[in-house]
Amino acid sequence: MIAIVEIGGKQYKVAPQSQVQVDLLETPEGEEFTLDKVLLKSEDNGTNCQVGQPYTGDVLKAKIIEHVKGDKVKVFKFKPKTRYAKSQGHRQNYSIIEVGAF
């Protein structure tokens, strides 16, 4: 089984017992929560597909494994002939979730 769920305004493809890295969620580590915005639910071979309009009404259980920071992204701004150069770095916060059985 696979499903496409909406988390934080983005769509993710999930399967049972799979781990997915999503944008940071407010839920503490180790807590369970529900995913009620299921857009599509299907068998592995593509049969028995349910498409929501916009949601199917199914509810999936998920658990926050940990909160992590992503890789550093370096931003460098430069304007020639004006002696302007600015360097900046950014690390995005993510949550790793594990989806339970459907």
12-64 pLDDT, tens per residue?
999 999 999 999 999 999 999 999 999 999 987 777 898 999 999 999 999 99
Q: pTM to 2 decimals? A: 0.83
Residues 42 and 1: their CA atoms lie apart, in Å, by 6
* pLDDT of 84 over the 90 cut: yes
Q: Considering its fold, how many domains does the chain have in total?
A: 1
| Amino acid 96: pLDDT | 97
Q: Which domain does 74 fall in, by range?
A: 2-99
Q: With bands split at pLDDT 50, 70 and 90, how would you rate the model's confidence at 73?
A: very high
Q: Tokens 């305004």 label which residue?
A: 9
| Amino acid 10: pLDDT | 96
